[in-house]
A and B are shown apart, each in its own frame.
Chain A
Amino acid sequence: MVELVARTPCAGLLPLRVGAVLLDEVAPGALTSVSPYKGQAEALSKVLQAAHGMGFPAPSRATGDRQARAIWFGHGQAMLVGPAPDPALADHAALTDQSDAWAAVRLHGPGAEDVLARLVPVDLRAGSFPEGHSMRSLLFHMTASITRIEDGAFLILAFRSMAATLVHDLQTAMEAVAARG
């Protein structure tokens, strides 16, 4: 039998520290896109609650915690992050494995908001984007999902194939913020 060795999207690119801001790759576990079928949103939310401990997130929100999160991922879609999806979910939603599709990085430390202000055209300051908030927007030229998680950190998901550009763009902004002192 052949042996396939796994490689993470940001292998060889991270971690990175510039000034007080840190960027590291996270191993989020399984990523499953969950799209409720017609009229199934409530039933799905209940199954999600029972199986994984959190309801289906409202637009621009994330539910759950370090072990299992449901991140609102766009029109009619959430991303279940962490556990393998309970099979019962499939009765109410289209489930699609996306565990390998997204580069997942964590940006944290004082100045992380200033770094994102250089790339994202949305107000991500804690006052308007506290923990539990999530959004889809652009990170410079690429689409991304950004969630404020524990300890003021940002969980950023971007296309796996764009991992090198993701790190480049974040590093550029981190340097600019650090240079201001």
Chain B
Amino acid sequence: MRIPCPLCGTRDRREFWYRGAAVDLERPAPDAGVEAWDDFVYLRENPAGPTRELWYHEGGCGAWLVVERDTVTHEIGRVALASEERS
């Protein structure tokens, strides 16, 4: 598998470290309540199809990336720097 890093170009999967769903970017406010925090810390979808994930270019530039990936075809879609991807 190869991931196009916006800074380094397309690189082999071995350079990247996988974190999980990009939900991790949406940290709730401290007072958001139990449900919101439980969702944020523990609950994740497990889709067959497109996902939005966080990868760290550990063996490269050190950028955190938001990677769109299809879990069925392994196709990589849009890749963006996490620092520019806050929603």
Contacts and interface: CB of A to CB of B under 8 A. Distances in A.
A171 interface: no
The contact size tier of chain A is 10 to 19
A60 B14 contact: no
Nearest to A60: B8
B11 A60 contact: no
A135 interface: yes
Contacts of A135: 8, 60
Given A59-B8, A60-B8, A75 B63 contact: yes
Nearest to B13: A121
A60 B7 contact: yes
B7 A59 contact: yes
Interface in A128-181: 135-138, 143
B59 interface: yes
Given A60-B7, A60-B8, A74 B62 contact: yes
Given A74-B60, A75-B63, A137 B11 contact: yes
A59 B61 CA distance: 9
Interface residues of B, number: 15
A77 B63 CA distance: 11
For the complex, would chain A's binding face be called helix, strand, loop or mixed by DSSP majority?
Answer: strand
B15 A138 contact: yes
B31 interface: no
B9 A121 contact: no
Contact of A136 (B12, B14, B60, B81): B60
A56 to B, nearest CB: 14
A27 interface: no
Interface of A: 59-60, 74-75, 77, 121-122, 135-138, 143
